[in-house]
Amino acid sequence: MTTAKIKVGDKLPSGSLSEYIEIETGACSIGPNTFQVAELAKGKTIAIFGLPGAYTPTCSAQHVPGYVKFSDKLKAAGVDEIWCISVNDAFVMGAWGRDQKATGVVRMMADGNADYSRALGLDADFSKHGMGVRSQRYSMVVVDGVVKHLNIEQAGKFDVSNAETMLAQLAK
């Protein structure tokens, strides 16, 4: 695991993430759409959680389901949007979001080449497991592009990046 570059009080780094859009709007076509993080974060409170990969055991059984389950409480605590960032392509993230019943609840943001995870300093080399560069498991609360809370898991753990921890932080 690498040491995080991002810390509480920092602005999110510039960069882009992709999202598979299910319903065409005036601004977005159906399929993968790429967004600039700074533009998306402007003026919003965002609960972001990052994880190693779609369809992986802890991510599918606990991480995403927790944010889906507690989405109403997070929004009641002032969160405008919830993002899941993973090093997968937008097609996989879209399919996984449908599978997890996260569509319209959690924005499933693809970091296909791990560029954004690297910019955060939250990338991890899973090559010894045949998975290449991925994201560390983490969560953060971002207000108008600035990190207010940051929770980074130790390797192999799922103790501090869950929705319940974020809710407790937002309650303070």
Could you tell me the two tokens for 29? 């076509």
In the numeric block, the tokens 């319940």 are attached to 164
Which of 59, 87, 108, 163 is an active site residue? 59
- Helix, strand, or coil (residue 119): helix
> What pLDDT is attached to residue 129?
86
Q: Given a cut of 90, is residue 61 above it in pLDDT?
A: no
Q: Given a cut of 60, is residue 1 above it in pLDDT?
A: no
Predicted model pTM? 0.92
Pairing between strand 31-36 and 16-21? antiparallel
In whole angstroms, what is the distance from residue 157 CA to residue 143 CA? 26
C-beta neighbour count of 171 within 10 angstroms: 8
Contacts of 79 (CB under 8 A, 6+ apart): 45, 46, 47, 141, 170
> What pLDDT is attached to residue 66?
96
In whole angstroms, what is the distance from residue 3 CA to residue 162 CA? 20
For 12-53, the pLDDT digits (tens) are 999 999 999 876 666 666 779 899 999 999 999 999 999 999
> What pLDDT is attached to residue 28?
67
> What pLDDT is attached to residue 27?
66
For 94-138, the pLDDT digits (tens) are 999 999 999 999 999 999 999 999 999 999 998 888 888 899 999
DSSP 8: T
Is position 28 annotated as part of the catalytic site?
Answer: no
